[in-house]
Every structure is written in C-alpha cells, then in structure tokens.
Structure 1
Amino acid sequence: MGTLSYGMTASLDGFVNSADGTFDWGTPDEEVHDFILEQQQRIGTYLIGRRMFETMRVWDEDDFVAGMEEPYVQFTPIWRAADKIVFSSSLEDPGIPRTRVERSLDIDAIRRLKSSSAKDLEVAGPTLGAAFLRAGIVDELCLYIAPVVVGGGTRLFQEGLSLNLTLLEERRFGSGTVFLRYGVLS
C-alpha cells in the first residue's frame, strides 16, 4: 500500500505563489533540490490539477530539459517514470506518456489506487490537495517552507480546513528553507 502525501513549496506566510502568480522565490538551491530528488524517488503516481500539470509537463519536453542546468535536469527520469493523473474538466489530451485525464475526482478510486500501489502517491496543487485532505485520504504533508513572505497569492491550505498533525521529520537547509513532514491524524 502506498502512502499518499500532499507536498509543495510555500512561503513562510503560507502561499504557494505570489499575488501575481509567480513562484520563482521557491526555486530550490542545489542542497534543497538534491533532497527533493531523494524524496521523489519513492513516488510512483502524481495526482495533479490542470494548472500544476501545465507547470510540470515541461519535464517531458526534451528541448526544455536540454537547456536546464545540473542538478535540475536530474528530476527528468523521475517525472517521466511516474504515472500522472490530471484532474481537469477542460484538458483534452495531455500529450505525454504515462498520463491520463480524469474529469472528476472519485475518492473511492483514489483509495483503491492507493491500496494497490507498490510506490507512494503525491497530490500537488492547493485546490486538489484541499479536496484530498477534506476526504481524509492524505497520509502525510511534505512541505518546503521558503524563507520569504510574499503577502498574498494562492494559499497552501484553503480556508476552513482543519487538521490534526504529528511531526515526523524536519530538516533545515543552509538557504533557510525548512522541510517539514507531518503525519495526518485527522
């Protein structure tokens, strides 16, 4: 059975992007990126919304990857080897291998996928993450807190969401980024 985690980089004030939609402030340095790569090795399926998919799909574009610097290019084989489920009512054809589109969120289907998975699953994106959290199917939160306050944007956690957590792991990086892994109790 796979563990289902919700993971993202967020500002210290709890946003995944700035008010203008940018998130360049969350770009990891080499030390953080190496740690993220290590964590991502265990993921067999990414569960993502359309906007997150549009951001991440570049890892399937050879021209994009060819222009990347090390160590960032090292994420490519991890992304390409994983299955991807995109939840979207508007995306027709994802256009990349190992990727399918689901028009609606079927929580029971996700539970079945989770229980039959040999590898872990990760949901990314605050809207989809909130739906998974509200359904009670997320096992862990894996958060990278960047040392920046952006003052507005898209919240990591939607208003009204209440969770009981237990700290499982923490790590501080030289850049000031902090990794926090919490178990979701309820």
Structure 2
Amino acid sequence: MKTILWATLTANGNYAQSGPDNPPTKEALADFVTHAAAAGNFIVGRRTFENLRNGGGPGSFGEVDIVLISKHAADIPGVKVVRSPQEALTYLRQKGHQTALISGGADIHNAFLEQGLVDEVVLNVAPVLEGKGLNLLIDREHYRFKHVELLGCRPLGGGVVQLHYAIGR
C-alpha cells in the first residue's frame, strides 16, 4: 500500500495553524478533497478531525473512509477509530485501498514518519510567516534522516505552492 502524507505548512516551515482568524486556504482545502477522493480515504488525528468537523473543513466526504487515530476517542458514526498508525493501515488494506492519505496533525504525521510508514509527502506551502506552530519533522531519538526525490511542484493558486516528494527507503 502506498502512503501519502499531506500537509499545509507556512513559508517558514511551521504547520499552518488554522482557526477563525486564519482559516485554511480554499486552494489547499480543495486540493485535500481531491487527494482524499482519489485515495478513497484519509487518516487523521482527533484534534484535526474535530477542527474539520466543527466548521474548519470542506463538508461531507461522501464515500471516503475516514480513519481516526486516537488513544481516547469513543466510537464516532461513519468513522473508524483506531489506536495506532499500523492499525489504520491494516484497516485500509482490509477494505481494499491501494493508497492511504495521512492528513493531519503533527503527532500523526511524525508517528508515521518515525515508523518508516510514509512513501510520499505532499506539502502545500502557504504564503504566510507564523511565529508559532508545530514542525513537521520533530527531532526524536528514533527518527532517521531520509533523502527525498522531488516528484513535482505546482502552484495551487492564492500564492500556495505544492511540493510533492518521494521518500527514499
């Protein structure tokens, strides 16, 4: 199964912190919906899922399988709740998916990266500088340095640039 990590970062490399004063760009949201529809799924953490559900997201995902990774979340109708990245991938494989889209939060992204479970990274760079926020590759003891290969680069509009990399194994 191919795994694609999808994220929006600020121009200075932090996660773009979305909220009422700083909503996600419509270009990045439209791209996320396109990637989720193509994969037929997305994997998300609890906080990011709550932000999507509580008005920060693009609405209904129809037939897309949503997998929520959380150690504490209760069952949510229409969402598969799992406890680990490996459990999320096992579930999607059993459902017949060929690609898994890993869509959010920093803890989820870093967990997949640390375990060597990411094949490609799609980074949308938003045209803002932000003094706070989380980093994509939190330096942890077990994370290994990885070379990446640029697969593509394209403007999404609104000053957002998308970088698409394959991660060397």
Say yes or no: TM over 0.5.
yes
Which protein has the bigger strand share?
Answer: 2
What residue in structure 1 maps to residue 168 of structure 2? 185
Aligned residues of 1:46 and 1:85 also touching (Cα < 8 A): yes
Deviation at 1:156, TM superposition (A): 2.2
What is the SS of the residue equivalent to 2:71? coil
Q: Aligned to 1:169, which of 149, 152, 161?
A: 152
Task: Give percent identity, aligned residues only.
Answer: 24
**2:81 matched to 1:101?**
yes
Aligned residues of 1:46 and 1:122 also touching (Cα < 8 A): yes
Aligned residues of 2:8 and 2:126 also touching (Cα < 8 A): yes
Quote the RMSD (CA, aligned, Å): 2.9
Which protein has the bigger helix share?
Answer: 1
Aligned residues of 2:123 and 2:164 also touching (Cα < 8 A): yes
Q: Aligned to 1:132, which of 82, 101, 112?
A: 112
What residue in structure 2 maps to residue 120 of structure 1? 99
Deviations 1:12-63 (A, max 9, x none): 1121144xx748546224x5554444333212221111111111224xxxxx
Task: Give TM-score scaled by structure 1 length.
Answer: 0.73
What residue in structure 2 maps to residue 6 of structure 1? 5
Aligned residues of 1:6 and 1:140 also touching (Cα < 8 A): yes
The one-letter code matched in structure 1 to 2:168 is L
Query: Aligned equivalents of 2:154 and 2:20: distance in 1?
Result: 22
Task: Count the aligned residue pairs.
Answer: 165
Q: Larger Cα Rg: Structure 1 or Structure 2?
A: 1
Aligned residues of 2:85 and 2:111 also touching (Cα < 8 A): no
Q: 1:4 to 1:114 in 2, by over 3 A?
A: farther
Aligned residues of 1:107 and 1:135 also touching (Cα < 8 A): no
Unmatched 5+ stretches in structure 1: 59-63
What residue in structure 1 maps to residue 127 of structure 2? 147
What residue in structure 2 maps to residue 90 of structure 1? 72
Unmatched 5+ stretches in structure 2: none
